[in-house]
Structure 1
Amino acid sequence: MKPVNSVNVERFAPQVVEDFLTGLPNLKIISIEREVLDFSRWRADIKVKAQFAGKPLNLVIEVKASGQPQMVRSAAQHLQRYMQNVHENDVPVVMAPYLSPQARAVCREENVGYLDYFGNALIASDGLYIERSVPGRPEPERRSLRSMYKPKAARILRCLLHHPGRHWRISDLAEAANVSAGLASNVGARIREFGWAELTDDGLVLVSPDDLLDSWAENYEPPKGEEYHCYTPYHGRQFTDRLRAAAGHGQVVLASFSAAEWLAPFVRHPNNYVYADELGFVSLTNAISLKPVSKGGNIVVVIPEEDGVLDDAIQISEGLRATSAVQTYLDLTNSGDRGKEGAQFLRSKLMDWQK
């Protein structure tokens, strides 16, 4: 997929449409017109006249420079109003350079088709149903999403996911997340573009926590920092008791499978996983006799560069802390098939957003 800027989106769109339709069996293109103005003074970005298996097939296409769900919903509703008032037999289609799974879901909800430059498509009419899903995302889209999940921005997302029904003033959200008001405002605007949050008179409120969490998990990058693979002779109750002994001397937080054993036990794992700050690592080393090893270790300790995962931790027992449900879920999804199973179980137990 070639990079497409907003100026060239509509110029490239007819060729994308033609290439897509040409590849369909039993379909004959009669004409593809741009910027068609009909008698109702409504301008269609692209109108396609075609035949499928000998029957007329007409597409009315609204082209958007961005596939953000919020813009896609607006375009879909615009198309639906037009179809109800003018041409009920035409097939409405939203088109953009890239349509995320969330944007495609919006099209389905609004009962319109879709097509993007990446090859994702849904065209449905009498006797015709075409659906295509292309794995992956364009690299510019992936970079854009990943920037939204960088450590500082992630602080904001954790606050929102921990309180999905709360209405936040930007200043309050920034203070709770320990970030600047400017960053909180920018992240809020970004997730509103995706349709995951709304701005009301009472403030910013998360309305689609599942979609936000799904996107974050898909683009998740574990916290960067020093990672130590070690061996400890302690396990079970002895490990837990000695871990409590390290409490109060720096930050020591159970993570991944180790956190899940306390939050929502499902998958047993032979290794322990811990986030710690530098002082906590020293305390932990003394408390459980840590020894760095090249192989045969049974505990992984990460000292993250940014303290978000530590500040977000919760107390699970006296003297014991673990990563929050959101952070534990993200780490588990990044830990192979068994981790993903554990993540889904934890999500079913602790992330029922309707409660």
Structure 2
Amino acid sequence: MLSEDFQAILESALDCRVRAAGTEPGRHVDGWLEMHIEHDVWKLAVEQKAATGSSLAEVRARHDDLGARHPDVVPVLAVPRLSKRERQALRDHQINHMDLAGNVWIRGPGLVVRTEGARPPATQRPTKGRNPFSKKASLVARALLAHPSDAWRVRELADEASLSVGYASEVLRSLVERGYAADTPDGFRLENPVALLMEWAGVYRWDDNEVHSFVVSLGKTELSEKVCGLFGRRGVDCLFTLLSAADRVARYVDHDQVHLYASSLTRELADALRSELYAEPVERGGNLHILKPYYGDAVWYGAEEMDREQSVSDVQLFLDLVHYPVRGPEAAAALLKQRLGARLKLSRDQVRTLREGLGL
């Protein structure tokens, strides 16, 4: 079902009346909207996804097919959050699109719309109750996803996530209100992991982290070992993520990149990277990327150790990969198929729903 937030975005961007057309949703159509501008009416067929996905050519083909079957309809892709790069790619493919930040680009017979958003997405604006995807609150969702069959008393979950009982209770109530968790006689349980991950992926991106990139003349295996050794000698914890972590748990993509979270990146540590590894800092590109975690300590929850090296949890890795531009969606799909789906006890239909919803 199409979120009412997108209807409100169109009304705000165009200063016009927009209403639901009432037509039943179909395959790749989550809602039909009618835009009334003066004496003209345009009908939009809106496909809502949590992310653009990896194949814009497929999106364009679906929209072309829909336009051929319904010549009076303008297809539009609706995504909660679109980066500048993603919006340009969509325009290059001539795909109509909009997001909850107010970015709208639509072309149709007699219709040209382009607005640049200036406000944060609605999903990130304060709402009633705790935001379950904020930095500290995310620990509750992480615990539920890590133990999908367990029922939790509030105090048990608070202890697991190192949160106060009152704070954990507020976050749990927020998850229940959204339908992601259920309050049962046995305790709080994970209710809808698919919807939970889809919304989370819609409000978080890997580049929300502070990224420091370097060029180092080493292969990724040797580079990984030396960076971890350098950090360890200075008491800095690190976690592999993105394709570096995918290599360790669900290898799918050939690459030469090293991505890792670091508990700190001081000037002294950056100097050590330059003096010991001859690492040259760069604004773009590079093959070593140190991430200061957006989620802070929460990113360490559920970390896994392999061969004396630590990687982020499957949940964090999935969230990081979904929007990563270098074959990240493909790696996320492989992770979901090989590990995460089974760990979350998802059915084949649930895995397919999650993949289609995120465009994987």
Same fold (TM over 0.5): yes
Deviation at 1:294, TM superposition (A): 3.5
Partner of residue 300 from structure 2, selected from 289, 310, 317: 310
Residues 251, 279 of structure 1: 8 Å contact kept: no
1:135 corresponds in structure 2 to 78
Give the whole-Å Cα distance in 2 for the aligned partners of 1:204 and 1:336: 36
2:345 corresponds in structure 1 to 354
Deviation at 1:208, TM superposition (A): 1.7
- How large is the RMSD of aligned CA atoms in angstroms? 3.6
For normalisation by structure 1, the TM-score amounts to 0.58
Structure 1 pair 236–226 and aligned structure 2 pair: CA distance change class (3 A): closer
> Equivalent residues in 2 for 1:106-117 (5 A)?
none
Other structure's SS at 1:253 match: strand
1:62 corresponds in structure 2 to none
Partner of residue 329 from structure 1, selected from 318, 325, 329: 318
Structure 1 pair 152–296 and aligned structure 2 pair: CA distance change class (3 A): closer
- The code of the aligned residue for 1:276 comes to A
Q: What are the ranges of 5 or more consecutive residues in structure 1 without an aligned counterpart? A: 4-14, 25-99, 103-131
> Equivalent residues in 2 for 1:164-179 (5 A)?
164-179=148-163
1:300 corresponds in structure 2 to 289
Give per-residue Cα distances to partners, 1:61-87, cap 9 Å, x unaligned. Answer: xxxxxxxxxxxxxxxxxxxxxxxxxxx
Mean CA deviation greater in 260-269 or 225-234: 225-234
Give the whole-Å Cα distance in 2 for the aligned partners of 1:309 and 1:343: 17
Give the whole-Å Cα distance in 1 for the aligned partners of 2:123 and 2:255: 35
Deviation at 1:155, TM superposition (A): 1.5
2:170 corresponds in structure 1 to 186
Structure 1 pair 337–250 and aligned structure 2 pair: CA distance change class (3 A): closer
> Equivalent residues in 2 for 1:53-132 (5 A)?
none
Deviation at 1:225, TM superposition (A): 5.2
Residues 206, 321 of structure 2: 8 Å contact kept: no
> Equivalent residues in 2 for 1:153-302 (5 A)?
153-222=137-206, 224=208, 226-246=210-230, 247=232, 249-278=235-264, 282=269, 285=273, 288-302=277-291
Mean CA deviation greater in 279-288 or 335-344: 279-288
Percent of aligned pairs with the same amino acid: 27
- The code of the aligned residue for 1:303 comes to K
For normalisation by structure 2, the TM-score amounts to 0.57
Other structure's SS at 1:214 match: helix
Give the whole-Å Cα distance in 2 for the aligned partners of 1:228 and 1:325: 23
Give the whole-Å Cα distance in 1 for the aligned partners of 2:49 and 2:211: 34
Deviation at 1:233, TM superposition (A): 2.3
Give the whole-Å Cα distance in 1 for the aligned partners of 2:247 and 2:317: 10
Structure 1 pair 178–331 and aligned structure 2 pair: CA distance change class (3 A): same
Residues 255, 274 of structure 1: 8 Å contact kept: yes
Give the whole-Å Cα distance in 2 for the aligned partners of 1:212 and 1:295: 33
Give per-residue Cα distances to partners, 1:267-290, cap 9 Å, x unaligned. Answer: 122221111022698297276443
Give the whole-Å Cα distance in 1 for the aligned partners of 2:225 and 2:79: 45
Deviation at 1:133, TM superposition (A): 8.8
Structure 1 pair 228–170 and aligned structure 2 pair: CA distance change class (3 A): same
Give the whole-Å Cα distance in 1 for the aligned partners of 2:328 and 2:208: 20
Give the whole-Å Cα distance in 1 for the aligned partners of 2:164 and 2:21: 46
- The higher-RCO structure (CA 8 Å, 6+ apart) is 2
Give the whole-Å Cα distance in 2 for the aligned partners of 1:265 and 1:197: 31
Give per-residue Cα distances to partners, 1:109-168, cap 9 Å, x unaligned. Answer: xxxxxxxxxxxxxxxxxxxxxxx9972466545535893311111111111111111111
Give per-residue Cα distances to partners, 1:311-333, cap 9 Å, x unaligned. Answer: 44221222x11111111111100
Residues 273, 300 of structure 1: 8 Å contact kept: yes
Deviation at 1:238, TM superposition (A): 2.0
Structure 1 pair 299–264 and aligned structure 2 pair: CA distance change class (3 A): same
1:31 corresponds in structure 2 to none
Mean CA deviation greater in 248-257 or 277-286: 277-286
Structure 1 pair 265–2 and aligned structure 2 pair: CA distance change class (3 A): closer
Deviation at 1:350, TM superposition (A): 1.2
Residues 132, 141 of structure 2: 8 Å contact kept: no
Give the whole-Å Cα distance in 2 for the aligned partners of 1:101 and 1:235: 37
Q: What are the ranges of 5 or more consecutive residues in structure 2 without an aligned counterpart? A: 1-6, 10-16, 25-47, 51-74, 81-99, 101-120, 347-360
Structure 1 pair 211–295 and aligned structure 2 pair: CA distance change class (3 A): closer
Deviation at 1:218, TM superposition (A): 2.0
Structure 1 pair 225–2 and aligned structure 2 pair: CA distance change class (3 A): closer
Give per-residue Cα distances to partners, 1:159-211, cap 9 Å, x unaligned. Answer: 11111111111112122112222221122112212222111222111022122
Residues 228, 301 of structure 1: 8 Å contact kept: yes
Other structure's SS at 1:336 match: coil
Q: Which has the larger radius of gyration?
A: 1
Structure 1 pair 223–180 and aligned structure 2 pair: CA distance change class (3 A): farther
Deviation at 1:223, TM superposition (A): 7.1
Other structure's SS at 1:274 match: strand
Deviation at 1:337, TM superposition (A): 6.4
